Amino acid sequence: MGLALLSSCASTPRTAAAEAPCDGSLLEIEGHRIWVHAQGAGHPTVVFESGFGNDSSVWESLEKHVRERGFQTFVYDRAGLGKSTINPSATYSIDNDAQILRTALERCDIAGPIVMVGHSYGGAIGLVLAEKSQQVKGLVLLDAVVPGVWGQGELEKNLAVMRSQYDEIRREAPELAKVAIPWAEALPKTTQRVDGVSLPESLPVIDIVAENGQNSPESTAVWREAHRKFVGSSPSRTYVLATGSSHKVMKDKEQVVLDAIMTVIGRAGG
């Protein structure tokens, strides 16, 4: 994002820990009901993480192409989005989001290796999961939230805009408000967490940045500089500018994203 404003299982046999089928069903995790869908076979498993406010439907075409190339895929809806429901008493944090995903993968017998594909805020969740889990062997980031994109000025500006919309979203979209407002209020802590994330230097990352992903020249400059710095901190990271793309890189530049996924799978030893 420039911040988006508020407006089957694995091919291996199931273990005893697999409590529910994962072919388009709901898992009870931390009081939420999380919709999951694992399809196909082959290693690594490509796990798709959507941006804020989006559900798994944004991956429909891309996920199919990855399976056609012989890899298992995993998509899901975060709590309160798509087919998933949210426990409104749960405290929001990005670490909780990463842990819910990790639990869902475990319950679906997906033990790795994993290549994460994360769009926007979903990229930040991918970074946190990769820090926590050695099963993640590669990352493809799509105009993602990386360390430094939310400097103090950017953070304060976006929070002010979102807070001005709280009453409207409570009135017009009360279910989305249960997700969006806690998410927005957690942004200062989320920013601190993302800025401090630490990944193995050898982890393959392709960082695709949209040419037209931000809503002002000032935000674009901050965003691109943060991404260049992120990529420049490790020789295992590659920067790709998606020329002509909006923030929805997976829609505008599907072949670029698919090529990146295949490249990371190769680098990850898949």
Quote the mean pLDDT of the chain. 91
CA distance 213 to 48: 20
CA distance 151 to 168: 27
**Structure tokens given for 193:** 């967490």
**Structure tokens given for 112:** 């790795």
| 16 pLDDT more than 70 | no
Beta bridge partners of 208: 142, 240
Please check whether residue 118 is in contact with residue 74, taking contact to mean a CB–CB distance below 8 angstroms: no
**Structure tokens given for 227:** 């991404």
Strands 73-76 and 32-39: antiparallel
Q: Where does the pLDDT of residue 20 fall: very low under 50, low under 70, confident under 90, or very high at 90 and above?
A: low
pTM of the prediction? 0.90
Give pLDDT, residue 191.
95
| 8 pLDDT more than 90 | no
pLDDT 10s digits, 200-228: 999 999 999 999 999 889 889 999 999 99
**Structure tokens given for 127:** 């970074």
Longest dimension (CA), the chain: 53
* Listed residue (55, 43, 195, 178) closest to 111, CA to CA: 43
Measured at the alpha carbon of residue 230, what is the angle toward residues 225 and 235, in degrees to the nearest 5?
125
**Torsion angles phi and psi, residue 260, rounded to 5:** -65, -40
CA distance 48 to 246: 19
Domains belonging to the chain, first-starting first, are 23-267 (3.40.50.1820)
**Of 10-19, 42-51, 126-135, the least confident:** 10-19
**Of 92-101, 114-123, 210-219, the least confident:** 210-219
Q: Where does the pLDDT of residue 152 fall: very low under 50, low under 70, confident under 90, or very high at 90 and above?
A: confident
**Structure tokens given for 60:** 């429909």
What's the DSSP call for residue 150? Answer: S
| 136 pLDDT more than 70 | yes
Over range 92-104, report the average pLDDT: 97
Write the CA distances from 212 to 39, 199, 205, integer angstroms.
33, 27, 21
pLDDT 10s digits, 235-244: 999 999 999 9
| 111 pLDDT more than 80 | yes
Give pLDDT, residue 164.
95
* Listed residue (16, 68, 3, 17) closest to 39, CA to CA: 68
